[in-house]
Chain A
Amino acid sequence: MGSAVRHASIAAIGLGLLAYAPALAQEFKAGPIRIEAPWIRATPAGAQVAGGYMKIENTGKDADRLVGGSTGIAGKFEIHEMKMSGTIMKMRELDKGLELPAGGSVELKPGSYHLMLMDLKGQPKAGDKIKGTLVFEKAGKVDVEYTVRGLAGGGHSGHGSGKH
């Protein structure tokens, strides 16, 4: 009995660790560019667009730019900036890409910069892994894998799970 409880609790710890594993930063590199934990937000049914997010660090001595990329789930890929201007949500495409200052990092996150993935071929669901590429002006092209997080995303509202 005691042993069963012990085993169960060990299993629980193991499951807990498994559950946390996706939260461990998944990292991708392209020369001096480090891409941390790229993720895509799960979409409501009927949505034709999804947001993609990640942290990008430029450890190099020269500035670089994220200029494009692709994902297995969307026909189109754009880099957008969202910002609140008072009570108005403003969205624009960064047609020259996203500047990555030398020795600095930029975060793509809800309420800010994001990948705008359009013409979705399917509905990304929490837990899905989606392959893609990112293209940097200097560092070139790199393969990445996005993890899909729940609709609540990992943003400001602080609900890590996709439960609702």
Chain B
Amino acid sequence: MRVIRIAAWVSVAAFILAAGAVYVLRPNLGAIPGQLPLAAGIGGPFELTTHEGKRLSSADLAGTPFALFFGFTHCPDVCPTTMLELSNAMKALGADADRMRFLFVSVDPERDTPEQLKLYLSNFDPRITGLAGTPQEIAAVAKAYRAIYEKVPTKDGYTYNHTALVYLMGRDGRLVGTINYQESAEAQLKKLRRLIGV
């Protein structure tokens, strides 16, 4: 009997410890897919160069909702997948997609010139705007969006770790929601429709 009671207390203690560990080790809220705190001040001023070689600043976007994704053209998987899925969604939206902007911000200033972005984006919906910048300009926009990007050396070159969210920004330039990697086409479309208000 006594043994059972001790065992019971041991299991209670183990549970409390485990629960505590889960609580302490939980990823910060910003890293839980779909649960970015909306009021956390994500978004902010930036100025970059489009794939057409023109300057684009956040002020130019005032009053227009937009979707923004950080990536790079030497990215084999998540970037082309996201661009393809956004292109599919834009096709489904048809003319409604013209009521917002779609931005692909490169985190790779060394290789992604406006010309390289232009070539890369020629595969996708022409309404996607590629944005290149100096290392400082990219650092600034990433900071404004609390996005992570880090260069990772490999044997023959380098690649990047980066935040793979599509940020959905409202007319007031504030975060409305996000689209996460591998979210269904239906869910993506629904979120974009809600952003545009159609």
| Interface set of A (CB-CB < 8 Å, partner B) | 41, 43-51, 76, 78, 80, 82, 84-93, 95, 110-111, 114, 116, 118-119, 151-153, 155-157, 164
B44 touches A (CB below 8 Å): no
Q: Give the secondary structure class of B's interface.
A: mixed
Residues of chain B contacted by A41 (CB below 8 angstroms): 76-77, 80
Provide the bound-state CA to CA distance between A92 and B120, in Å.
23
B155 and A95 within 8 A (CB) = yes
Q: Are A84 and B81 in contact (CB under 8 A)?
A: no
Verify B73–A47 contact, CB threshold 8 A: yes
Considering the chains assembled together, what is the distance between the CA atoms of A87 and B162 in angstroms?
9
* Alpha-carbon separation in the docked complex, A118 to B78 (Å): 16
Stretch of B7-15, B57-65, B84-92 with 4 or more beta carbons under 8 angstroms from chain A: B84-92
- Which residues of B come within 8 Å of A, CB atoms? 27, 30-33, 36, 73-78, 80-81, 83-85, 87-88, 111, 116, 118-124, 148, 152, 154-157, 159-165, 178, 180-182, 185
Quick one: which of A80, A84, A86 contacts B159, CB cutoff 8 A?
Answer: A80
Q: A88 to B164, Cβ gap below 8 A?
A: yes
Pick from B81, B84, B120: contact of A47, CB under 8 Å: B120
Report the minimal beta-carbon distance from B118 to chain A, rounded to whole angstroms: 8
Is A88 a contact partner of B163 (Cβ separation < 8 A)?
yes
Q: Are A118 and B119 in contact (CB under 8 A)?
A: no
Q: Counting chain B CB atoms within 10 Å of each CB, which of A51, A78, A87, A95 scores highest? A: A87
**Which of chain B's residues have a CB closer than 8 A to the CB of A49?**
74-76
How distant is B182 from chain A, measured CB to nearest CB, in Å? 5
Q: Please give the distance in Å from B44's CB to the nearest CB on chain A.
A: 18
Are B162's CB and A88's CB within 8 A? yes
Q: What chain A residues lie within 8 Å of B78 (beta carbons)?
A: 82, 89, 111
CB pair B122 A46 closer than 8 Å: yes
Alpha-carbon gap, A86 to B29, bound state (A): 10
Selected from A47, A85, A91, A151, the residue in CB contact (under 8 A) with B160 is A91
Q: Quick check: B164 and A92 within 8 Å, CB to CB?
A: no
What are 9 pairs between A and B in contact, CB < 8 Å? Answer: A44-B122, A46-B116, A46-B122, A47-B74, A49-B75, A76-B156, A88-B164, A91-B159, A93-B159
Q: Which residue of A lies closest to B75 (CB)?
A: A49
B167 to chain A, nearest CB (A): 10
Query: Closest A-chain residue to B118, C-beta based?
Result: A46
A111 to B182, CA, bound (A): 9
A164 with B161: CB separation less than 8 A? no
In the complex, the answer to whether A44 meets B123 with C-beta atoms within 8 Å is: yes
Residue from A48, A76, A87 within 8 A of B164 (CB atoms): A87
Would you call A44 and B31 a contact (CB within 8 A)? no
Which A residues lie within 8 Å of B122 (CB)?
44-46
* Residues of chain A contacted by B181 (CB below 8 angstroms): 84, 87, 89, 111
CB proximity of A100 to chain B, nearest CB, Å:
20
A93 touches B155 (CB 8 A): yes
Cβ of B155 and Cβ of A48 under 8 Å apart?
A: no
B143 → A minimal CB distance (Å): 15
